[in-house]
Amino acid sequence: MDDLAALKTKYEAEIAAATDEAALEAVRVAALGKKGEVSLMMRGLGAMSPEERQLAGPALNALKASLSDAIAVRRSALADAALEARLAEETVDVTLPPRPARTGTIHPITQVTEEVIAILADLGFGVAEGPQVETDWYNFDALNIPADHPSRTEMDTFYMHRDPADPRPPHVLRTHTSPVQIRYMEAHGAPCRIIAPGRVYRADYDQTHTPMFHQVEGLAIDRDISMANLKWTLEEFCRAFFEVETIELRFRASHFPFTEPSAEVDIRCSWTDGQLRIGEGDDWMEILGSGMVHPKVLRAAGVDPDEWQGFAFGIGIDRLAMLKYGMPDLRAFFDSDLRWLQHYGFRPGDVPRTFA
């Protein structure tokens, strides 16, 4: 028993002398670890006679409990001391001048979307919205996209999971905002003049493509609308958006299932010292697709194509942002990099305006 008293005195002194968590842990291991002095003595109880074990067992347990309590108390004291030291080091001098407040920025996609809406609103277009999860009919069939069209494959389109026993076609993440045109004409009929901005989804990913991106579709339906009206609308839009007086567009014959005739639209531009300049030079750059709404699309939306006709166009909002503000990589739009957002973002007071 005298040995236990000496052992207790020894380790209590070492516990009290420990100046940090590492030193305290070393004392704990030496005393109570698997190979510690107290632990080895407790293993020796099995070799004692019942009479010796009856005396030594309670004494060893008491020693172990006493040292454990002392270690816990010392650990708490060390933690309190460390906290006090840290608080002393991190004291704030309230007499120092305040740091300038950092405000958030408007994402370029949000800014450009508002710019597009503001410009086209001045041209008489209202804003329409629709669901991002669409039926196969609204996304493809109503837009005269045939069943064997490449865009309907799972390599290009995100299909929603469905029960294999369900005979209905699966839903899709919309691949364009054109379904909004069908829904709007179904609900409101003709005449109409709307734009449909929003997110769209396609299975593609590289420097100029991402699985989720943004588009704005334009639609104008009336009795005597022609390609001349489409050309004027796009010229006025490009002049206002790119803030230049001179705009020259080139229409190239193309094919889209939902328009007839269809046209890809190029804009005259030049590259000077790596900078894109719109409205000048000898180069052409494709910016959008357009055309006269196909009669089958009007009929699918409940509009009589013998009485009404109109034009439609589709523009990538992300691409417009890249062209106007010099952003080289579309993927950076979705990286949530605060440095990129601080550089390319807009102040909350930067209200979109039309070009005068």
Q: What is the pLDDT of residues 170-196, one digit of tens each?
A: 889 999 999 999 999 999 999 999 999
Residues 29 and 172 in one domain: no
- Residue numbers of the domain that contains 114: 108-344
Give yes or no: residues 70 and 114 share one domain: no
Check whether 1 has a pLDDT greater than 60: no
Residues 18-51 as b or e (16 or more Cβ within 10 Å = b): beeeeebeebbeebbeeebbbeebbeeeeeeeee
98 Cβ contact list (under 8 Å, min separation 6): none
- More reliable by pLDDT, 181 or 207: 181
Domains: count for the chain: 2
Residue 350 lies in a domain: no
Burial (Cβ within 10 Å: 0-12, 13-18, ≥19) of residue 297: buried
Domain boundary among 29, 56, 89: 89
pLDDT over 80 (residue 143): yes
Q: Within this chain, do residues 236 and 304 fall inside the same structural domain, yes or no?
A: yes
User: What percent of the chain has pLDDT above 70?
Assistant: 96
Residues 6+ apart with CB under 8 A from 340: 332
Q: Is the pLDDT of residue 354 over 60?
A: no
Judge whether 355 and 243 are in contact, CB under 8 Å: yes
Residue 60 within any structural domain of the chain: yes
Is residue 278 one of the residues assigned to a domain? yes
- Whether 262 and 127 map to the same domain: the answer is yes
Question: Residue 24 and residue 48: Cα distance in Å, rounded?
Answer: 32
Per-residue confidence at 14, pLDDT binned at 50, 70, 90? Answer: confident
The pLDDT of residue 100 is: 73
Query: Is 103 contained in some domain?
Result: no
> Global pTM?
0.67
Q: What is the pLDDT of residues 214-270, one digit of tens each?
A: 999 999 999 999 999 999 999 999 999 998 888 899 999 999 999 999 999 999 988
Q: What is the CATH number of the domain that holds 153?
A: 3.30.930.10
Please indicate, yes or no, whether residues 269 and 174 belong to a single structural domain of this protein. yes
**What pLDDT score does 208 carry?**
63
Do 16 and 50 lie in one domain? The reply is: yes
Give the DSSP letter of residue 346: B
Whether residue 343 has pLDDT greater than 70: yes
pLDDT (mean) for 29-57: 78
Q: Are residues 145 and 84 in the same domain?
A: no
Note whether 219 and 333 are same-domain residues: yes
Please give the helix or strand (H or E) that residue 214 lies within, else none. strand 212-222
Q: Are residues 237 and 301 in the same domain?
A: yes
Q: 355 lies in a domain?
A: no
Q: Omega of the bond prior to 191 within 30 degrees of 0, cis?
A: yes
Higher pLDDT, 308 or 165: 308
Residues 336, 78: Cα–Cα separation, whole Å: 41
Is the separation of the CB atoms in 262 and 297 below 8 Å?
A: no
Q: What is the pLDDT of residue 239?
A: 92
Same domain, 112 and 212: yes
Looking at 35, 56, 89, which one is the last position of a domain? 89
Structure tokens at 145: 């996209």
101 part of a folded domain: no
| In a domain? residue 75 | yes
Residue 206 has pLDDT above 70, yes or no: no
Q: Is residue 100 part of a domain?
A: no
Digit-coded pLDDT (tens) for 72-131? 888 888 888 888 888 888 777 778 787 777 777 888 899 899 999 999 999 999 999 999
Q: Are 338 and 215 in contact (CB under 8 A)?
A: no
Q: Do 80 and 115 reside in the same domain of the chain?
A: no
**What does the pLDDT read at residue 207?**
63
Average pLDDT, whole number, for the chain?
Answer: 86
Model pLDDT, residue 53 = 74
| pLDDT at residue 356, rounded to an integer | 44
Q: Are 64 and 148 found together in one domain?
A: no
Q: Taking 70 as the threshold, does the pLDDT of residue 351 lie above it?
A: no
